[in-house]
Structures are given as structure tokens and as C-alpha cells.
A and B are shown apart, each in its own frame.
Chain A
């Protein structure tokens, strides 16, 4: 089996920086994804990490430490439209290639 843990909710101020953490336990690790999901919509891809380190893409960055089973998503210069759920998802290559999602972190950005 596997476990993916992330905080349920976070609140941050417009213009600030927020870090959303994710810890996981899995066999056959094959990469970690972050997705953004607005209410009532399908998830949209943000990042993919398969090697240790930081991947930066505009205002969003994602970090992975495989030895610690840990990742974070960093959002800079927060905007109101960033209010959404952020899903941490782990890809595994045992028992078929599957991507399993964490419960998601609901981020509220306030003015």
C-alpha cells in the first residue's frame, strides 16, 4: 500500500509565499506530481519530480527528496486566482503504472 499526507487547508495573503508539504510512503516510486484543482473542475498539471532537487517553473517550484519521502510545492507572489486545491500524487511502477493522489490541500488566498 501507500500513504500520501498533506495538510488539509492553508491560508495565505496575496503577494506572499506559501509552501505546501507532502510526505509519502510507497514501493516502486516512479515520480511525484503536483496538480491544481479548482472547485468543480478537473485537475491541471503543475509539476513532476522524479529526481531529488528543486524544479522551478515561473511562480511555482517543486522540491523532492526521495530518501525522506518528502516533497513541497512553493507558490510565490500569490494571487487570488491561486485559491484552489493542490494535489500531491505519486506514480508507482509496481502492480502496473498507477498514479495515486493525496487528499489535497485547500489553499485560501486572502487580500
Chain B
């Protein structure tokens, strides 16, 4: 099946610093990737849709200036958490569909990145 790789898997940073998380589709091209956030014992909450070559689409309540998304190529999307604070500590997961247009097909997930802000 399709493979999505996410890096880093764990990151600890000081409050006020910025953290970048990378999401790569290894064996397929993904014009669209999705970023989710998951707090402990809660489900995945869609943060934004990352579109190759254009601006990301953010879900209601997600600050676009705080969570910067760049989809520079068909295989790479990055999420930067700017000026991170302890409340941003969470599990961030990216995903992509392996199939082309039509929106069908399963979502393949990266391994997830656990962010801890001290």
C-alpha cells in the first residue's frame, strides 16, 4: 500500500519557539494532504487541507498564522507551529489519499509527530 512518512516522530521544544513537521508521500504523488491534531483520548480533528501549489484551507477555529502549511511539491507538505505554547502540545498526524481525483480511496497516515512544549 501507499506509504506516508512523517518527521520528526517526537519533538520537545521551549515555549515561544517554532517547530516544523514534514509529511512526505513516498511512493505516490499527493496533490492534497491533510493535517490532523489529536489530544489525549480524543479523536482526530482536521486542522487543514494542504493543497500543492496553493494556499492551505483551514478548518474553523484553526489559526492560519499560527499553523503555517506549505505544500511545495507533490510529495511534501510541512506544518510549522509558530511560537509554540504548552497548549499546542499534541499528536499531529498528516495523511494523504493514494488515488487521484474523485476524493475516494483510503487515507494513508504518517506515523504522527508528538509535540511537547515546555
**Chain B residues close to A by CB (< 8 Å):** 1, 32, 34, 36, 42-46, 49, 57, 91, 93, 95, 97, 103-112, 114
CB–CB A101/B93 < 8 A? no
Which of under 10, 10 to 19, 20 to 34, or 35 or more describes the interface residues of A? 20 to 34
CB–CB A30/B107 < 8 A? no
Q: Is the interface of B mostly helix, strand, loop or mixed?
A: strand
A21-55 to B contact mask, C-beta < 8 Å, 1/0: 00000000011010000001111110010100000
CB–CB B43/A42 < 8 A? no
- Chain B: CB-nearest residue to A44: B109
The 26 listed contacts between A and B (C-beta, < 8 Å) are A30-B103, A30-B104, A33-B106, A33-B107, A40-B114, A41-B111, A42-B93, A42-B109, A42-B111, A45-B107, A45-B108, A48-B106, A87-B43, A91-B103, A91-B104, A93-B103, A96-B49, A96-B57, A97-B32, A99-B34, A100-B46, A101-B44, A101-B45, A102-B43, A103-B42, A104-B43
